[in-house]
Structure 1
Amino acid sequence: MPTPEIDKTIPAGLRSWAVTWPEYRPADITPPELRPSALAHHVPDWAEAAPTPTDVRDWGQRQRSALVPFELDERGWPLHPLGRTGRTGRNLGRWAENRAVDPIVVAGKRRQRRVLLITRSDIGVEAIPGGMVDPGETVPTALWRELGEETGVDLTGHHPTILGHDLVADWRQSDHAWVVSTSALYQLPTQVTAVAASDATDATWWPFGSLVELATAVAAAGRTLYAAHRPLLRRALDHLDREQSAS
């Protein structure tokens, strides 16, 4: 499993939950709409109603079904599988694991290979199109929906290669809520028309012979490649290169 980039403000020796750190004071990143006083009056349709992890009643089931295993602390609160993040509270829909999808769409082969990325409207970087899995939604449905919503590309009925389920260094993660993404590789013979929509301000096909080639092309265009997606793109390249070597 690729390891996401970690918050460098946390000393490596103090990141593990097994290490005692009495002086640890993480910043609360909970937005106003998810604070207890706000949830008492209105729960956003993308979020669960529990103001704190103490209000969650199905931790056993969540632990059993988690794509990435996690533990609870002495209070019964979930702990980020990679250790301290420097942030507490919740800026995601659920406490603990929040599932997302990342459809990696690649067109062409070898030197002509291109990957479809979007410019995210929230942080303005080049990223894999994708987003959160809706309550009750399956992963295949979420992959098709997110790709269509953000790029206009309809791959309904296509069966991608599931590359893995990975912790992502999402900017909204905290000690008690994090993102696990299912990345899936779609391979097309040629590029198709992509039009940015929803959470994207642009949709572009980029050279994808290697991660260096991609990053160089993105930088040359005055843009930035989303750091949290580099491990997912690297694994997609590894898969493609293995296929090429075997053919």
Structure 2
Amino acid sequence: MTNFDFALLTLLCLLLPLENSTTATKMMASLVKPGIFRHLMCRNNMYPRSGVLRFPVSDDHVFWSAPYADYCPPVYTAPHIGGQVWADPPLPSEAFYPQWNQLDGQVNRESFHGAYEVKDGLPLNPIGRTGLSGRGSLGRWGPNHAADPIVTRWKRDAEGAIVANSTTGKNIIQMVAIQRSDNKLWAIPGGMVDPGENVSVTLKREFTEEALNFTDKANMVEKFFREGGVHVYSGYVDDFRNTDNAWMETTALNFHDEDGKQVGQLELMAGDDATNVRWTDVDSQLKLHANHADIVREVVILRNAHW
């Protein structure tokens, strides 16, 4: 996005009537996030844990508004999805009628990026084409909501003093990162929001299951998360599992241990779907699953830390 585009969208937010300003704000939020509006992870590759190759989609053909007469993506839903209690039934179906773009019973089918289009009875990915139809390995048609707790502390030396970067002079922040078992990439230790579940419950549960794998410090962890995190991002995730009809969205909060005397002192232990877990220095070279690095950068800005 050019500076002119950004300025134009900002002006749009100011000039639109009040009832339309939310739409403009969502438009801007969805476009200015780096790494999420061109499908870097979920395009032009083999779908994970399958032999299904995505249909080629160039940068110019990502958006649905761009004509692509030859677009013919394969349809794929992972076999293990069928019959799972946490998954939607297949579509089309004579017995399953999802309520798109709203709370459908206990299932949240709203997108952070506004109303998505429904075509031929199937929701369309709001960011654009991925080269694959169906659900892939995702449980829900449309948005699949997750929650990501970004747990941080300041990097300290042997004497306990905060370590600053010698070039920028800014303090180095560390985050808890888990290594995913599916693609071996490092990531924020998050997980799916259960139907009807409060996001705060998901954040605490996923961090405990994936990064601690024990409960003897449950009271400390409970207090740490109860004191509240700072919201840093809600929106689309450029996840390698996304398809044209099912995609990941997340709510990310930063829980910061300022003095390092709470969770910053706990021994990390990988559990659940994690292969490994560690405190990781955060900087511009950090490589993470999907567009997690872009989300973490919001924390760096928030804490005025080294990048």
Q: Same fold (TM over 0.5)?
A: yes
Q: Does structure 1 residue 130 correspond to structure 2 residue 130? A: no
Query: CA-to-partner distance for each residue in 1:146-166, whole Å, 9 max, x for gaps?
Result: 001101183441300011212
Tell me the secondary structure at the aligned position of residue 197 of structure 1.
Answer: coil
Q: Which letter maps to 2:147?
A: V
Q: Which of 177, 184, 188 is the equivalent residue of 1:117?
A: 177
What are the within-5 Å matches in structure 2 for residues 1-247 of structure 1? 1=29, 2=33, 3-4=35-36, 6=39, 7=43, 9-34=56-81, 39=82, 43-49=83-89, 51-52=90-91, 55-61=96-102, 65-90=110-135, 91-108=137-154, 111-152=171-212, 154=221, 155-188=224-257, 189-190=259-260, 191-193=264-266, 194-208=268-282, 210-212=283-285, 215=286, 225-241=288-304
Residue of structure 2 in register with 1:219 after alignment: none
User: Which structure is larger by alpha-carbon Rg, 1 or 2?
Assistant: 2
**Which region of structure 1 is more displaced relative to structure 2, 70-79 or 60-69?**
60-69
Query: CA-to-partner distance for each residue in 1:80-101, whole Å, 9 max, x for gaps?
Result: 1111011111121111011001
Query: Identity of aligned pairs, percent?
Result: 31
TM (norm. structure 1) is 0.81
Query: How many matched pairs?
Result: 224
Q: Which letter maps to 1:52?
A: L
**Which region of structure 1 is more displaced relative to structure 2, 19-28 or 86-95?**
19-28
Deviation at 1:16, TM superposition (A): 1.7
Query: CA-to-partner distance for each residue in 1:96-136, whole Å, 9 max, x for gaps?
Result: 01100111011126535211101111111111100110111
| CA distance, structure 1, for counterparts of residue 122 and residue 98 of structure 2 | 11
Query: CA-to-partner distance for each residue in 1:142-198, whole Å, 9 max, x for gaps?
Result: 000100110118344130001121210111110011011101101002123211110
Deviation at 1:58, TM superposition (A): 1.0
CA RMSD of aligned residues (A): 2.4
Tell me the secondary structure at the aligned position of residue 233 of structure 1.
Answer: helix
- Which segments of 5 or more consecutive residues in structure 1 lack a partner in the other structure? 216-223
